[in-house]
Amino acid sequence: MKKIQLKSRKNLFAHFVGVDEFNFHLTEQKCDVTRYVVSRPEAAAILLYNRDSNAFVFIRQFRTPVFTKGEDGFIIEIPAGVLEPGEEPLTTIVRETLEETGYSISKPELLYTFYPSPGILNEKMHLYYAEVKNADKIEKGGGLETEKEFLEVIEIPVDQALQMVNNGRIIDAKTMLAVLKFHQSKT
């Protein structure tokens, strides 16, 4: 017997994200509950390590949710992007890396697949790692004008990035996870 039975699902909003209302019956607790889910496509992100400069390649961009919490909204994070319909995560991360940073990569390594905020969001994130050299920068980067991303590409030395995670200057969870994983693998 199932412990949780889906009674109904109703779409409340559909645009860049979706919002669905789910009604469940919890068999063991003998009660009904309602839960809401924000739906997003899967995404891929990457920690780029520049061997020539011993630094990570990050982007700085404006994030409205951070702004709504009284901060300036500009955060440092690793490159990332949403999977297009039918696209594999590996294809996405190669494309997004070039668009956002200008670096051409090959053979990125998958570190983790995880849910960034499973209490409300159904987005699945694929986290990669790749090493680059200065010669791999073949385009300007900075995102696509058509997407109005306006990204600033920045490099931060490896040790400084760890300090920025530990002192709260890097606040993006996927970036924190990637930096900590890098340092864990080096010790």
Q: Taking the domains of the chain in order of start, what are their residue ranges?
A: 4-39, 43-186
Q: Residue 1's pLDDT is what?
A: 54
pLDDT confidence of residue 125: 98
3-class secondary structure, 43: strand
pLDDT digits (tens, 9 = 90+) for 64-93: 999 999 999 999 999 999 999 999 999 999
The model carries a pTM of 0.92
Using an 8 Å Cβ cutoff, are 43 and 81 in contact?
Answer: yes
Alpha-carbon distance of 6 to 125, in angstroms, equals 25
102-141: pLDDT as tens digits: 999 989 999 999 999 999 999 999 999 999 999 999 999 9
| Average pLDDT, rounded, for the chain | 95
Q: What is the CATH number of domain 43-186?
A: 3.90.79.10
Please check whether residue 123 is in contact with residue 43, taking contact to mean a CB–CB distance below 8 angstroms.
Answer: yes
pLDDT at position 94, please? 97
Give residue 156's identity as a one-letter amino acid code.
I
Element (H or E) spanning 156, and its range?
A: strand 152-157
* Element counts in the chain: helices (H) and strands (E): 4, 10
pLDDT of residue 145: 78
